Structure 1
Amino acid sequence: MLTKFLFTKIDNNSLIVFRVIFGLLILLESVGAIFTGWVRDTLVNPQFTFNYIGLDFLQPLSGNGMYYYFAIMGLLGFLVMIGYRYRFSMSAFTLMWAGVYFMQKASYNNHYYLLLLLCLIMMVLPAHSYLSMDVKRRPEQQKIWMYSWCKWLIVFQLLVVYTYAAIAKLYPGWLDLSFFKVLMGSKIHYPLVGDLLQNESLHWFLMVSGIAFDFLIIPLLLIKKTRKWAFVAAVGFHLFNSVIFQIGIFPYMSLALCIFFFEPKTIRKIFLKRKPLFIDGQIEKPYYHKVVVMLFAMYAIIQIALPIRHLFIPQPVLWTEEGHRMSWRMMLRSKAGMIEFKVLNHQTKKQHSVDLNEYLSAKQRRVIGSKPDMIWQFAQRLKKQYKDQGYQVSVFASGSRVSINGGPWQDFVKPNVDLAAQPWHYFGHEPWIFPYKKESK
């Protein structure tokens, strides 16, 4: 059964077409990040970035280095699109995108994580075996088939993403529409649709349809009778997100991934009319089949486990952010925070407030108040700065408060705790965060 599921030879039309679209999209993402000012605002202007804890060596290149960095990624995207030295091009882009992903958290987005996973997957898939410069250079590499695990790996990843996204929405802030009131309230200035987005009936529709779409889209795409209607729904869903929320290439990436659910002959008719259709369906275990099974199983376990790790942490993930990243908690809550840092100099016995404008960009100032890991990292940075000047200091958070979905402000970080002296618990709860008061109204 497992052998048939993973090692049946199937037509590779979907993978070949997706490679071309994928290459184009990562090219546009890279170049677009430069011209929209994302690189400037996120990586160039800030004095430093909040990297993932433990990866402190990951900091942006100086001067115009990050512009060149993204230009190179754009070039690699183009090479992926045309299938030129595909393995190298895809691997290099993956490495460079991983660097961007792990070097900054002020602009964290689950979609960036999805792109990283898709890059890792595309690295190992034979996406260059047809309609590529590699095949043109070496015709013996051409194939019109792939093993079925290539398709099911993509389908599995999408099932994980949408299922966990649906489950995460089953919480009061989504079900009582408080999230939508805050989110859509920020869109009231939109021309033509700004007032419409404030309509409560629309909020109810978005609440119900968001859960239903995430739960059902993959099963409905897998069923032949419902596939076309599911794809129509996906087009509407993702175009709405693209227009209203401006989330870059990712609605179009999601639509492109739908190609793995359609029949090879349908794909051939639209995109690859000259390509022979593979209809053999033979089951054949390659010599490396045990490696495929082992890696598939390991990857599946990791992808299933990561999004539920927050269940083993005492406080709600919406409050502490512990276990939030890499868990597909997408477009789920609006969170605002306020904080003031105070530094106590042990030598002079004097205490002063820190002017965040001297250290952080506007984007970093907007998010640091509600992100415990960034609060801790900034305290460590202040500690190091004063240590380099010959001083020992303590760092405290004063007036730290957080509001979720426009709800009441609650105390967040305990003000009497020296954050500079606290260790970071990678897989646990930080005791200096106040408990969430569920009874607050």
Structure 2
Amino acid sequence: MTQETGSAFNRISNRLLQTVPIDFLVVFRIAFGVVMCWWAISGVRNGIPYNNYTLPAYHFTYYGFDWVKPIDLSVAIGGVAVDGMSLLYIAFAGLAICIAMGLWYRLVSTLFAVGMLYWFLIDKAYYLNHYYLCTLLSWMMPFFPAGRAFSVDAWRNPSQRRDTAPAWCLWLLRFQIGVPYFFGGIAKLNADWLRGQPMRTTLSYMTDHPWISRFPFDQEVLVQLVCWGGLLFDLAIVPLLLFRKTRLFGFFLTCAFHICNHNLWNIGIFPWLMIAATTVYFDPGWPRQFLHRFGWGNRPEVAETPSAARFSLPQRLVVSCVLLWIGVQTIVPLRVFVLPGNPSWSEYSHHFSWHMLLRAKVSGVRVYATDPESGRSGVIDLRPYLTQRQLAVVGRDPRMIHQLCLFIADDLATKGHPNVELRALALVSLNGRKPQPIIDPAVDLTKQPRDLRYPDWIVDLHEPYRHLAWKVPLEQWESQLSLDLPPQMMALRIPQRPVPEAGASSTDRSAAIAVSQRADSVAGN
């Protein structure tokens, strides 16, 4: 390490290893625990663990994590059978309450983090940016000394009680909470968003929403307000929160932004988590400062800042790990600028990049099976393999379609059809464009390897941008498009009329062999 590098590292270490009031960490611990408990209980009440994880015959695992499977268990509680994944959610709720209370904090936060990662890796069909953020935060929690104050642990063992915490906890939290805002704003600097899509199409389906129906101006004004307002908010909010003079204004904007999101889109815990987490941008001792103004408690004090000469090997290791985490969380979202393909179209680098609200896709997919010996072809019924929720997602992601075809091929092999060829007619309309194939229909997907490389069988997006969305119904697509199809598909070109998914919103439609999705879960995740 050069002298200049060592000096810079020491300056950073001085800043990160000084102590600050622990109040901010206590508030975050309680808020995180309460919100995650709410999420887990809501999931059980809505049957999500069973319907999303226990019921499906197949799960779209992340590459390298095929071994991650749902809990195959059923127990009787009070005479009622409870599946293993519901038990996991119940455990999440209990662990989250313990985190909020600061009870056995290190143990329960570690168990919660391991459980969240396991749950997150089961099926990428349910990926949402706020689930990714919750998983990251859960893995940060065990390393924070958040149980040292205002906790059951500190009450039971006063010798562990501390009024301060290392400053790296504060700055790491500020960084992680700021990442979705900043990279969400960077992602919005693209042609479709700046020209009003997919907001124009999405809002056109929401004219009966109370907030939108009462909007006093033309809908195009609302489109531009959402597009430019969202872009400017994402790029400006972190600087506004970092500077003392603009902090209260920034927090007010944050609350207004997330309350609007909660009322417009169905995004669960995300608005409330972000509002609570944004308090880390206040002075770290703000709770006691606030109470002290009313004559309650003492003003928080800050201990002496350590000097570089006293830095130990563990301290340097802590600083190195913090900088490594920051580096990874910065590089991963930026990979979209160097990896091939349009992430909104190919989905290749969409995950973990904080791309929110950028893509509205309407998609239809049909899988054709061909016996190479007889030359006979037929259409695969996807319903035995996937739930309606999975069907609503798979059609927009070519690599998920490929993953599904590999699974179907293995299933057919066990039934005495080992050499079946599988091809997909996958038509996708991105942000109101005219639909086009996203996968080369002539490619036998069973012969394509599943790896991390960009697939050469993904068809590049070539349909031009449209100011007004192409609204031909899905069942008429094939009659309206000029498609160059292989002979295995030509004989079976029978338009399929999609059947609405039971209980689905107006943005999702699915059928046995066709999938349509009008909005990308509107939360943009």
Q: Same fold (TM over 0.5)?
A: yes
Contact 2:344 2:358 (8 Å CA) reproduced: no
Q: Taking structure 1 as reference, are residues 182 and 46 closer, same or farther at Cα in structure 2, changes over 3 Å only?
A: farther
CA distance in 1, matches of 2:52, 2:205: 21
Given the alignment, which residue of 128, 149, 164 partners 2:168? 149
Other-structure match for 2:305: 282
* Pairwise CA distance, 1:100: 1.6
1:25-174 correspondence to structure 2 within 5 Å = 25-62=35-72, 63=74, 64-174=83-193
Q: CA deviation at 1:48?
A: 2.2
Q: Does 1:315 align with 2:341?
A: yes
Distance 1:387 1:373, change over 3 A: same
Q: Distance in 1 between matches of 2:234 and 2:427?
A: 32
My pick for the range that moved more, 197-206 or 364-373, is 197-206
- Residue 228 of structure 2 aligns to which amino acid in structure 1? V
Instruction: Give the structure 2 partner of residue 178 of structure 1.
Output: 197
Give the match for residue 240 of structure 2.
220
1:23 is matched with which residue: 33, 44, 47?
33
Q: CA deviation at 1:158?
A: 2.5
Q: For 2:251, what is the secondary structure of its paired residue?
A: helix
Q: Which amino acid aligns with 1:6?
A: L
Cα distance, 1:46 vs structure 2:
2.1
Q: Does 1:236 align with 2:261?
A: no
SS state at 1:178 partner: coil
Conserved 8 A contact 1:128-1:134: yes
Q: CA deviation at 1:296?
A: 1.4
Whether the aligned pair in 2 keeps the contact of 1:168 and 1:329 (CA below 8 Å) is: yes
Q: Determine which of 268, 286, 290 is the counterpart of 2:288.
A: 268
- Deviations 1:181-226, CA, capped at 9 Å, x for gaps: 2222333343464464982211111111111111111111111110
Report what 1:338 is aligned to: 364
**Separation of aligned partners in 2, 1:375 and 1:232:** 43
Amino acid at match of 2:20: I
Instruction: For 1:82 and 1:265, locate their aligned partners in 2 and report how far apart those are by CA, in whole Å.
Output: 19
Name the larger-Rg structure. 2
Amino acid at match of 2:17: F
Gap regions ≥5 residues in structure 1: none
Structure 2 Cα separation of the partners of residues 87 and 120 of structure 1: 11
Amino acid at match of 2:380: V
Asked if 1 retains the 8 angstrom alpha-carbon contact of 2:198 and 2:357, the reply is no
* SS state at 2:149 partner: coil
Question: RMSD over aligned Cα, in angstroms?
Answer: 2.0
Mapped to 1, the partners of 2:403 and 2:449 lie a distance apart of: 11
Aligned residue for 1:429, secondary structure, equals coil
Q: Matches of 1:91 and 1:106 in 2, distance apart? A: 26
Q: Deviations over 1:237-279 (max 9, x none)?
A: 0111111112111111111112111124532145795466123
Q: Distance in 1 between matches of 2:417 and 2:142?
A: 48
Residue 292, structure 1, aligned to residue 318, structure 2? yes
2-structure distance, mates of 1:37, 1:271: 42
TM-score, normalization: structure 2?
Answer: 0.80
The one-letter code matched in structure 2 to 1:158 is: I
Q: What secondary structure sits across from 2:383 in the alignment?
A: helix
How is 1:398-417 mapped onto 2 (pairs within 5 angstroms)? 398-417=424-443
1:107 is displaced (CA, Å) by: 2.0
Give the residue type in structure 1 aligned to 2:395.
G
328-337 or 234-243, which deviates more: 328-337
Matched letter for residue 116 of structure 2? W
Aligned to 1:374: 400
Mapped to 2, the partners of 1:38 and 1:270 lie a distance apart of 40
User: Percent sequence identity over matched residues?
Assistant: 27
Higher mean displacement: 31-40 or 4-13: 31-40
Name the CA shift for 1:385/1:331 in 2 (closer, same or farther; >3 Å): same
